[in-house]
């Protein structure tokens, strides 16, 4: 960065950085792509829905079948994100703090749900948890049915959500200063007290962020769920599937109204993540 001459007035920020060329070209390209690929199509959903009266819209998005799908989708996504918050923090802890054979492989494997196409995850989990599958066969005598029940949806969403928690908690854990833990130990805390009072609170912001990301992903998830859920209306039908069903029946108004509800929920969660991150990582909180 150039230092301005002492006598000259401080240069305008925007002016100084425009020394580099290509601002107009790259901003234009970015906005063009963004508008054509993302914003215009998304606005189509809202504009289409604006053609409905409020009563029509309300009837579409609160019919019993739709309400059942909300309960299932949000319930399963919440339960899966909660399970991931618990197990994901432990996995991150083990990966960062312990040495064990195969650690690097486990670390790389955590990305599997990101890399594996959702349809493949869906059929693999269904094959495992169906009453004839490796795991389903063991659970069946116990009276536990996983495939084609809400429990199966939870399994799929837990698979999908795992990396979100691990990959947000891991870097925070790597940068956690050991001095804090040492101080706690010096002051007489047992290891468990240190973990509960010093380490876990420090991981809370990242865990909350990861939880919200996993939740948002779980609510919209389709590919891994449709195979294992069985897709019975009112029982195991998630909201994204209901959108597809309505679309296949040429019920465009119904599908679009549901999509708008889901978009509003997703955007709220996305906004929530931004607020969370800004709050947790604001300079005031770190005393800088």
Partner 1 sequence: MSATASTLVHVAAPHRRRTLADPPWLKRILLTIALGFVGLFLVIPLAAVFVEALRGGLRLYGAALTEPDALSAVWLTLLAAGIAVPCNVIFGLAAAWTIAKFDFRGKSVLTTLIDLPFAVSPVIAGLVYVLMFGAQGWMGEWLADRDLRIIFATPGIVLATIFVTFPLVARELIPLMQAQGRDEELAALTLGAGGWKTFWRVTLPNAKWGLFYGVVLCNARAMGEFGAVSVVSGHIRGETNTIPLHVEILYNEYQTQAAFAVASLLTLLALLTMLLKSIIEWRHRRALLAAAHAETRTFAS
Burial class, 263, CB count within 10 angstroms (exposed 0-12 / middle 13-18 / buried 19+): middle
Binding status of residue 159 toward partner 1 by CB under 8 A? yes
Residues in 39-68 at the binding interface with partner 1, rule: CB under 8 A: 39-42, 44-45, 48
Beta carbon nearer to partner 1, 67 or 138: 138
Query: 236 or 256: whose CB is closer to partner 1?
Result: 256
SS3 label, residue 22: coil
Q: CB–CB of 223/201 below 8 Å? A: no
Q: Which tokens belong to 230?
A: 């069985």
Q: Min. distance of Cβ 167 from partner 1 in angstroms?
A: 4
Of 52, 76, 125, 228, the one binding partner 1 (CB under 8 A) is 125
Rounded distance between C-alpha atoms, residue 81 and residue 94, angstroms: 19
Of the residues 79, 82, 140, 222, which one makes contact with partner 1 according to CB under 8 A: 222
Name which of 63 and 118 has its Cβ closer to partner 1: 118
Site residues (CB under 8 A) for partner 1, limited to 230-249: 240-241, 243-244, 247
Segment 167 to 206, residues that bind partner 1, using CB under 8 A: 167-168, 171, 174-175, 178, 181-182, 185, 191-192, 194-195
Read off the tokens for 177: 């200063």
Residue that the structure tokens 């380490």 belong to: 199
Contact 76, 154 (CB under 8 A): yes
* Site membership for partner 1, residue 6 (CB under 8 A): no
Distance CA 95, CA 101 (A): 11
Q: Taking CB under 8 A as the rule, does residue 220 contact partner 1?
A: yes
Query: Taking CB under 8 A as the criterion, which residues in 139-158 touch partner 1?
Result: 155, 158
Nearer residue to partner 1 within complex by CB, 135 or 202: 135
74 forms part of the interface with partner 1 (CB under 8 A):
no
Angle between helices 252-280 and 200-220 (to 10 degrees): 170
Q: Which is nearer to partner 1, 151 or 222 (CB)?
A: 222
CB neighbour list of residue 199: distance below 8 Å, 6 or more residues apart = 176, 181
Is residue 98 within the footprint of partner 1 (CB under 8 A)?
Answer: yes
φ/ψ region of 70 (left if φ > 0, alpha if ψ in -120 to 50, else beta) reads alpha
Q: Which of 57, 70, 148, 227 binds partner 1 (CB under 8 A)?
A: 227
Q: Which stretch binds partner 1 (CB under 8 A): 54-62, 94-102, 138-146, 229-237?
A: 94-102
- Cβ burial 74-111 (10 Å sphere, 16+ → b, else e): bebbbbbbbbbbeebbebbbebbeeeeeeeeeebeebe
50-58, 63-71, 104-112, 137-145 -> range binding partner 1 (CB under 8 A): 104-112
Stretch that binds partner 1, among 60-68, 141-149, 228-236, 251-259 (CB under 8 A): 251-259
């Amino acid at each position: 960065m150039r230092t301005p001459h002492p006598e000259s007035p401080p240069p305008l920020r925007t002016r100084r950085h425009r020394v580099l060329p290509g601002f107009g070209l790259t901003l234009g390209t970015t906005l063009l792509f963004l508008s054509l690929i993302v914003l215009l199509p998304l606005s189509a959903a809202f504009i289409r829905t604006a053609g409905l009266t409020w009563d029509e819209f309300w009837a579409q998005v609160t019919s019993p079948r739709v309400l059942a799908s909300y309960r299932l989708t949000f319930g399963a996504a919440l339960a899966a994100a909660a399970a991931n918050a618990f197990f994901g923090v432990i996995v991150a802890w083990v990966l960062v703090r312990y040495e064990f054979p195969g650690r690097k492989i486990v670390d790389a494997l955590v990305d599997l749900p990101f890399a594996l196409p959702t349809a493949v995850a869906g059929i693999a989990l269904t094959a495992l948890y169906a009453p004839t599958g490796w795991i389903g066969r063991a659970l069946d005598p116990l009276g536990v049915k996983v495939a084609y029940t809400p429990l199966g949806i939870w399994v799929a969403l837990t698979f999908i959500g795992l990396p979100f928690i691990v990959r947000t908690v891991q870097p925070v854990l790597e940068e956690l200063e050991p001095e804090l833990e040492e101080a706690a130990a010096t002051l007489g805390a047992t290891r468990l007290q240190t973990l509960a009072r010093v380490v876990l609170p420090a991981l809370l912001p990242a865990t909350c962020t990861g939880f919200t990301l996993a939740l948002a992903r779980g609510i919209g998830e389709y590919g891994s769920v449709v195979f294992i859920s069985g897709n019975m209306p009112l029982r195991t039908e998630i909201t994204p599937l209901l959108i597809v069903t309505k679309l296949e029946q040429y019920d465009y108004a119904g599908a679009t109204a549901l999509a708008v509800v889901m978009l509003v929920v997703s955007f709220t969660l996305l906004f929530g993540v931004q607020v969370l991150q800004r709050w947790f990582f604001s300079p005031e909180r770190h005393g800088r």
